[in-house]
C-alpha cells in the first residue's frame, strides 16, 4: 500500500498508509491531520492546499485549469503548491511528501 508523509506547520513529519484511489485530503482526514477541505473536495475552495516536496511535484499529473484557479486563492502559494483533494494516491506516489502551509484562507466562510 502506498504511504504518504505529512509535514506539519512545526516541521514534524508523520507517515501513514494511503490507500490507492483516495485523495491526499481523504487520507489526511482519516488520520486527523489538520487539513481543512471546507468544500469537501468539490474544487470550490483552497483550504486543502499542500506544498508538495519538489522531488515529487513532477511525478504528479498536471493540475487542471479549475485547480489552478483555486490555487490562486491559496495562502502561502509556492511553485509546488497543489490542492490535496486533487492528488489521488497511486502506487506510483508511494512515499509522497507534502507540507501543510502555515495558514489557510477560507473564502467560503467570508
Please give the CATH number for the structural domain made up of 3-103: 3.10.20.30
Q: What is the 3-state secondary structure (H, E, C) of the chain?
A: CCEEEEECCCCCEEEEECCCCCEHHHHHHHCCCCCCCCCCCCCCCCCCEEEECHHHHCCCCCCCHHHHHHHCCCCCCCCCEEEHHHCECCHHHCCEEEECCCCCCCHHHC
pLDDT digits (tens, 9 = 90+) for 65-101: 999 999 999 988 999 999 999 999 999 999 999 999 8
Going from N- to C-terminal start, the domains of the chain cover 3-103
pTM of the model: 0.91
Q: What pLDDT shows up at residue 110? A: 38
d(CA 58, CA 71): 17
Q: What pLDDT shows up at residue 41? A: 92
8 A C-beta contact, residue 24 and residue 99: no
- What is the mean pLDDT of the segment spanning 33-60? 95
d(CA 74, CA 24): 17
- What is the mean pLDDT of the segment spanning 24-39? 95
What are residue 97's phi and psi, to 5 degrees? Answer: -120, 125
Looking up cell 495562502 gives: 75
Amino acid at each position: 500500500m502506498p504511504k504518504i508523509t505529512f509535514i506539519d506547520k512545526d516541521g514534524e513529519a508523520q507517515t501513514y498508509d494511503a490507500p490507492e484511489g483516495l485523495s491526499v485530503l481523504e487520507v489526511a482526514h482519516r488520520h486527523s491531520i489538520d487539513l481543512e477541505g471546507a468544500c469537501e473536495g468539490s474544487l470550490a475552495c483552497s483550504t486543502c492546499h499542500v506544498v508538495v516536496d519538489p522531488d515529487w511535484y513532477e511525478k504528479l499529473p498536471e493540475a487542471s485549469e479549475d485547480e489552478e484557479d483555486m490555487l490562486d486563492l491559496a495562502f502561502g502559494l509556492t511553485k509546488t503548491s497543489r490542492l490535496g483533494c486533487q492528488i489521488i494516491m497511486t502506487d506510483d506516489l508511494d512515499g509522497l511528501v507534502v507540507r501543510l502551509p502555515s495558514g489557510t484562507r477560507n473564502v467560503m466562510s467570508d
